[in-house]
Structure 1
């Protein structure tokens, strides 16, 4: 059996796509470890995955990049400011952050036979090249043009020089082995942009302690059940409390039973809610979606894949650029209805939810794309393909 190292950025959304793959590799008998900064220790323990502490925790760098007065912006303006950090952050991921992570991986003495990285983590790529072992990438977000070889080759070349590797200014080696995606090709060619992309059936990540609270069984289900959640980044933006209040009021205006998750540890005392809207700080999203008629989301790729796997139609209020890419992609396929952030009010969000619930075609489209997803090769096939990289 082989030693497989998984590498991730210090964020749940980056880790989650790797979890089912790591679990499947363990079941196959491989030795597995996950390289991530120390801040990921508790989450990796919840997933029962071995943790190699390493990499650069860049989260505080983000706040130093924000302009003066950011905290006083309204929600939409704060989102636009945060969006403007997308390209500089990607270049940092491929620059000093990747170099620091590669140095940590190489310094551990834990020599892998294969490195599997989530797509935004580039230290694993540099370390694999230095160790002369194969490397694979797992797509963890939507909108891939900024992470192509030609876009990042010149930035990654500085790390290659430090490691004594030959120059690769076009980034031809970045995606030369395997790029694993978990969306059906029928969603569009934009998700097949990277070389050597193969598509597999999405599996929702599970922790041993995941379960739904028992009170959910007592909800009034004579009306449609709508679940809403907007992701950790969204709730951290200035002005988000007012946006949340608008979303609560919008769900209250719809003839439905709604559950809105405000994020782990959220203070719910500042938000009132009508009788049909139930506020929670955290609920396992994948389990919650299994019994829902509609999902209201910010448009993160993990969230949309979780809903797609279960054939749940969506209303999307996209915030960041990758969210907007995903929202447009799913809307074009008839799976989702988009409410632009600039016009996201109580009235527009309520109208979109009503229209989505009243449109049987949206549920049909979601079920059709769900079947395309379920027609893809299983996760075991991905493990076969990874093993083939180790022993060609």
Structure 2
């Protein structure tokens, strides 16, 4: 099988799930490549994954730094309303339509040329990338969604018209079916119970991502953290901390954790300069520019998180309860689901205080039911088939879609 993976040129969309899928598929003897913007070349090379660059697809830095380019693709110039840290839902709907409309069409234009030469049997995309879906439909080959964002499905009714416009531009019929992009296979990476019933399509299957094996060992100072109190990890993510107003949350988080009988590690998301904005750091809190999150989480008692899906999934895999402080994209619905399932508590990022953060963390740390419920979901995840099964399911899609050759006529023996 020739397996082509497509993704927006964003680290968190590529590395946590698509790269492991590429490695598992290649180990099973399949040929695999990732098609995305040229800006991801170094990252893919670092992971040893073949890259099919799309020369006219802009990187995220270009889209965020060039107002004219953003306007060309229908992206808003401003995410946050004045005085708020969360994104207005109307602004997010505009972003979703841009990714399913002009950005998807631009992506598909390059991808059709690349795929025409590379000749994939199956295309697998992540849910923010629609060009792979359009290309597979145009080439009449199966496609699947590696569901790194379960609540991205909430955007499907919002974007169906924009996506149908791109279908018509490629000579495809419109569908008016919001679920059409998932019609072959939607591969969930968290147990089905995390999905609300309305977001569980017929074509959904659920898998267990592989345990990372290439993470570097933690710095020795992590091993020397005190053993007489719970360990709390706090991380708001690198992308979120780059947004206006979000770094102002860090001083509140640090002060709140300083009031608790715990040891806390607070990640600065790669922005070491944010230390200057925090001021006095309590004795029980350790700041670090970057934290090996997947490695450290299994040793933690609480995770204060922005509730991005990668972080949420990693917490479930580690069996760690959460306090969620969502800001953008799928983070608010992820946080709501965390609270609905009793995996932790959700806080409003526009109404934070030191007291609210400390009270939420104290409640989750002291009430064992939060951990019990996360551990139950963790067991469901452990019972799901691994990526080897996903690769086999993709190979089966390829076989089922392959045209049957007519039997050769054999002359009768004389």
TM-score, with normalisation over the residues of structure 1?
A: 0.91
Name the CA distance, whole Å, in 1 between partners of 2:272 and 2:118.
Answer: 38
Q: Does 1:231 find its partner at 2:213?
A: no
Return 5+ residue gaps in structure 2 as ranges: 68-74, 401-414
**Change over 3 Å in CA distance of 1:153–1:352 after alignment to 2:** closer
Q: Does 1:85 find its partner at 2:91?
A: yes
Aligned to 1:174: 181
| Contact 1:183/1:373, CA 8 A, preserved across alignment | yes
**Cα deviation digits, residues 278-314 of structure 1 (max 9, x gap):** 1111122111102111111011111010010111111
Name the CA distance, whole Å, in 2 between partners of 1:300 and 1:254.
Answer: 25
Aligned to 2:59: 57
Name the CA distance, whole Å, in 2 between partners of 1:220 and 1:358.
Answer: 18
Q: Secondary structure at the match of 2:345?
A: strand
| Contact 2:111/2:132, CA 8 A, preserved across alignment | yes
**Cα deviation digits, residues 64-121 of structure 1 (max 9, x gap):** 45557x79944xx14234x543211111111111111111112222221110000110
Q: Does 1:384 find its partner at 2:392?
A: yes
**Change over 3 Å in CA distance of 1:187–1:78 after alignment to 2:** closer
Q: Does 1:250 find its partner at 2:256?
A: yes
Aligned to 2:48: 48
**Change over 3 Å in CA distance of 1:191–1:266 after alignment to 2:** farther
How many pairs does the alignment contain?
385
| Contact 1:154/1:170, CA 8 A, preserved across alignment | no
**Change over 3 Å in CA distance of 1:133–1:232 after alignment to 2:** same
The counterpart of 1:309, out of the listed 302, 313, 317, is 317
Which deviates the most, 208-217 or 124-133?
Answer: 208-217
Return 5+ residue gaps in structure 1 as ranges: none
Q: Secondary structure at the match of 2:181?
A: coil
Radius of gyration: which is bigger?
A: 2
Name the CA distance, whole Å, in 2 between partners of 1:264 and 1:363.
Answer: 29
How big is the shift at 1:372?
Answer: 1.4
How big is the shift at 1:370?
Answer: 0.8
Q: Does 1:359 find its partner at 2:352?
A: no
Aligned to 2:411: none
| Contact 1:142/1:323, CA 8 A, preserved across alignment | no
**Change over 3 Å in CA distance of 1:199–1:145 after alignment to 2:** same
**Change over 3 Å in CA distance of 1:96–1:4 after alignment to 2:** same
**Change over 3 Å in CA distance of 1:172–1:216 after alignment to 2:** closer
Cα root mean square deviation, aligned: 2.2
Which deviates the most, 25-34 or 161-170?
Answer: 161-170
- 1:365-380 mapped onto 2 (5 Å cutoff): 365-380=373-388
| Contact 1:36/1:51, CA 8 A, preserved across alignment | yes
| Contact 2:252/2:353, CA 8 A, preserved across alignment | yes
Which deviates the most, 261-270 or 357-366?
Answer: 261-270
Q: Does 1:159 find its partner at 2:178?
A: no
**Change over 3 Å in CA distance of 1:209–1:19 after alignment to 2:** same
**Change over 3 Å in CA distance of 1:163–1:66 after alignment to 2:** closer
Name the CA distance, whole Å, in 1 between partners of 2:180 and 2:245.
Answer: 43
How big is the shift at 1:210?
Answer: 3.0
| Contact 1:119/1:139, CA 8 A, preserved across alignment | yes
How big is the shift at 1:171?
Answer: 5.0
| Contact 1:225/1:256, CA 8 A, preserved across alignment | yes
**Cα deviation digits, residues 109-139 of structure 1 (max 9, x gap):** 2221110000110000111112221100011
The counterpart of 1:266, out of the listed 272, 275, 293, is 272
Aligned to 2:122: 114
Name the CA distance, whole Å, in 1 between partners of 2:143 and 2:135.
Answer: 9
The counterpart of 1:94, out of the listed 75, 84, 100, is 100
Aligned to 2:12: 13
TM-score, with normalisation over the residues of structure 2?
A: 0.86
Name the CA distance, whole Å, in 2 between partners of 1:174 and 1:281.
Answer: 38
**Change over 3 Å in CA distance of 1:343–1:49 after alignment to 2:** same
